[in-house]
Chain A
Amino acid sequence: MFTIGFYLLMLIIVIGSFRRDSDKTKLALIKAWKYFENILPLFLSIIFGIGIILSVLSPEAISKILGNQSGWLGIIVAAIIGSVTVIPGFVTFPLAATLLKNGAGLTQIIVFISTSVMVGVITIPIEIKYLGRKVTYLRNSLALVFSILIAFIMEALIK
């Protein structure tokens, strides 16, 4: 539904822009392609890499490791899985719900969600291209630490 919304928005902008200035419109479209082409090799590597990782880690296998009684070990494993996998957002939450139903602990799942959305180990090369090493490593480490803190606070508030 949101995808359709974005396509409509794109269509309105392209048509509106073309009526005002066709040269600028062409330039914008060329730019769009250049930005895309720029990250294409890494993008494809990541998509294929995720496929391999997700085929090894099934929801049942993950739930067992992240069980209610798994404690800190489960939290660490959740943080690692969340950090190394780049799962699309619309997959993260249904997957998290499935894991909870299969017996995973709430704290562990929140750590998984937070690290999954905020920490991207596989995408570090792209991040470094734009933000440099220092910012990239600092941002990812902070996101990792805060993900665990967020999980404890949320767990206390939701229970």
Chain B
Amino acid sequence: MKKIFKRYRTLGIILIINLFFILLSPQSGINALIITAENLTEMLLIMPPIFILLGFLDIWVEKETMIKFLGENSKFLGIFTAFLLGSIAAGPLYVAFPFVGVLMKKGSKFSNVLIFIGAWSATKIPISLFEASVMGWKFMIVRYLIDVPVIILMAFIVDKAISSSEKEMLYKNPKIL
């Protein structure tokens, strides 16, 4: 009980802020709740298949398979697989982090984990159909041509900035279950 209270403390504070907001400016405060309700339904619709796929990835995919495709010696195959996994995903970036946990647990190379995060955030194919329809194909294609090398470059920089002992700590992190 105490633990639940502690975990949901931030949510409580935000709800209180929203309540004050409603008292101070009813229209904006209620508008905030409407936006929340819209986002929440949208997200709750996307979440079940994503998390179930994550559960199955964790249980069914062998560590050896993951190492072959994304591990230390995966080279171009690793970069390609990381892009593919991140780009076909759905859901906001923070949903990617439980996936990151599973990828690391199964022996994925750290730079590939970072590429996966980059792809999940910037080159998501389902979202890009919206992008092309509202911003035009040219915009989307130019953005992809620039974003793909930038994602690889960023992954490379972060990977080099982290020492191997720091990496080891991250891979032993109990939070990744």
Contact = CB atoms under 8 A, between A and B. Distances in A.
B10 to A, nearest CB: 5
A149 B154 CA distance: 13
A69 interface: no
Chain A facing B: main interface SS: helix
Chain B interface category by residue count: 35 or more
B40 to A, nearest CB: 5
Interface string A93-132: 1101100000000000010011001101001001101111
Interface residues of A, number: 72
A12 to B, nearest CB: 11
B122 A10 contact: no
A54 B32 contact: yes
B65 interface: no
Contact of B93 (A30, A123, A129): A123
Given A28-B59, A123-B94, A45 B150 contact: no
B7 to A, nearest CB: 5
B33 interface: yes
A142 B117 CA distance: 13
Contacts of B28: 55-56
Chain B facing A: main interface SS: helix
Interface of A: 2-3, 6-7, 9-10, 13-14, 17, 24, 27-36, 38-39, 41-52, 54-56, 86, 88-90, 92-94, 96-97, 110, 113-114, 117-118, 120, 123, 126-127, 129-132, 134-135, 138-139, 142-143, 146, 149-150, 153-154, 157-158
Interface of B: 7-8, 10-11, 14-15, 17-18, 21, 28-29, 31-36, 39-40, 42-43, 45-56, 58-60, 90, 92-95, 97-98, 100-101, 104, 114, 117-118, 121-122, 124, 126-127, 129-131, 134-135, 138-139, 142-143, 146-147, 150, 153-154, 157-158, 161-162, 166, 169-170, 173, 175-177
